[in-house]
Amino acid sequence: MKKKNMLMFLSLLLTITLITTGCGKEVEIKNGAKVAVSTNNDKFTATEYYNEIKKDNISKLVNMIDKSILEKKYKTDSEEDESVKKQIDQIKQYYGSNESTYKSVLQSYFGVNSESELEDSLRLEYKRNKAVKEYINKNLKDDEIKKYYNENTYGQVKASHILISADVDSKATNEEKTKAEEKAKKKAEKIISELKDGKDFSKLAKKYSKDSATASKGGDLGYFDLDDMVEEFSNAVKELKVNEYTKEPVKTTYGYHIILKTGEKDKPKLSKVKKDIKDKLTTKKLDSSSTIYYETLMDIREENKVKWNDDTLKKAYEDYMKSLMEQAKKKAESSSSSTSSAS
């Protein structure tokens, strides 16, 4: 359909050119090119108009390039089908009840005119995300991996905890929440005093802990990876020796914890955790930079020998990618600003 429209346009342009230059009339020239259309005020060449078309439709050309590259590498699978279906269902859930609103949303937010075009767009984006993650992952340097391993990899640890959470209603005022938290902290500090007096940790956990999953077991969490716990909890465990408990309550989103470290295993070899580390570093890189997604897509295109033989198209592409990265930066800055204000 798009090819048909382009052919119709070129035929029309050719006809206009013939009319304006034919029948024995003098050929008009502008900047070394034949004038295709003229008005009382200006003259336009086919080259000028074609260059404007290039600029306005560069995103479509980039989509065509990426689709050609990625569809050869990534065949559609059930995971992709499920992801695309889920996204379409969510969009329909919010906007699908009104057909005109739904079409308007497709056009304004997704730049498409139909659900089939939306599906094509989502499938391309799915493949782009997959390609970006794989590209970053395979290009991680050994030094990066070893550094992360040395600084962040630990053997599994075993611990018990006593959780004291603030007893407060969800509709409570900020003042009531603050008072409840202070009360919970004081209770946790009192339990630590009892531990210092020689009381048994397991018995205190059974008596006081609000963690229904572990209280009956004396607070025993068993062996776990530090990454499985919230950061504040994991950091506290790292600092403890075996059979040592925290001397101050540890605050997390769940409440206040008193933690007793009861065991630890040797650090696993790098070869056993390398894949996991690479996945974590990939995620970390994507989360830490607002532009790395677009920079990586440009690297992937270059790796696949995308060559711009037309200077106007090349400039339009560079400007387009620069614009996308600037938008990503502004979005990240706005999000960061909103988060800071909320806290």
- Could you tell me whether strands 157-164 and 220-224 are parallel, antiparallel, or unpaired per DSSP bridges? antiparallel
Q: So where are the chain's domains?
A: 1-56, 57-153+270-343, 155-264
CA distances from 243 to 85, 154, 158, 166, 183 (A): 51, 18, 10, 27, 27
Concatenate the DSSP letters of all residues of 245-298 into one string.
B-SSPEEETTEEEEEEEEEE-PPPPHHHHHHHHHHHHHHHHHHH-SSHHHHHHH
Q: Give the model's confidence band at 98: pLDDT under 50 very low, under 70 low, under 90 confident, else very high.
A: confident
Per-residue pLDDT at 149: 95
Q: Give the model's confidence band at 279: pLDDT under 50 very low, under 70 low, under 90 confident, else very high.
A: very high
Q: Does residue 259 carry a pLDDT above 90?
A: yes
Alpha carbon distance 216, 211 (integer Å): 9
203, 221 in Cβ contact below 8 A?
Answer: no
Three-state DSSP at 303 gives helix
Per-residue pLDDT at 281: 96
Alpha carbon distance 207, 262 (integer Å): 19
Alpha carbon distance 77, 83 (integer Å): 10
* CATH class (in words) of the domain with range 155-264: alpha beta
Burial group, residue 306, by CB count within 10 angstroms (0-12, 13-18, 19+): middle
CA distances from 290 to 83, 134, 285, 299, 341 (A): 23, 18, 9, 16, 20
Burial group, residue 219, by CB count within 10 angstroms (0-12, 13-18, 19+): buried
Per-residue pLDDT at 53: 78
Alpha carbon distance 223, 237 (integer Å): 12
Question: Which residue, among 4, 300, 6, 16, has the nearest Cα to 138 in the 3D structure?
Answer: 300
CA angle 223, 224, 228 (to 5 degrees): 165
Residue whose structure tokens are 């009840």: 97
Helix (H) or strand (E) holding 318: helix 311-342
Average pLDDT over residues 279-283: 95
What's the gap between Cα 225 and its chain centre? 24
Alpha carbon distance 227, 209 (integer Å): 23
Alpha carbon distance 18, 10 (integer Å): 12
Average pLDDT in the chain: 88
What does the pLDDT look like over 58-78, one tens digit per residue?
999 999 999 999 999 999 999
167/160: higher pLDDT: 160
Burial group, residue 297, by CB count within 10 angstroms (0-12, 13-18, 19+): buried
272/99: higher pLDDT: 272
Per-residue pLDDT at 7: 47
Q: Does residue 342 carry a pLDDT above 60?
A: no
Q: Does residue 110 carry a pLDDT above 60?
A: yes
Please state the φ and ψ torsions of residue 213, each to the nearest 5 degrees. Answer: -75, -25
Question: Which residue, among 66, 68, 17, has the nearest Cα to 43 in the 3D structure?
Answer: 17
Per-residue pLDDT at 94: 87
245, 159 in Cβ contact below 8 A?
Answer: no
Per-residue pLDDT at 9: 52
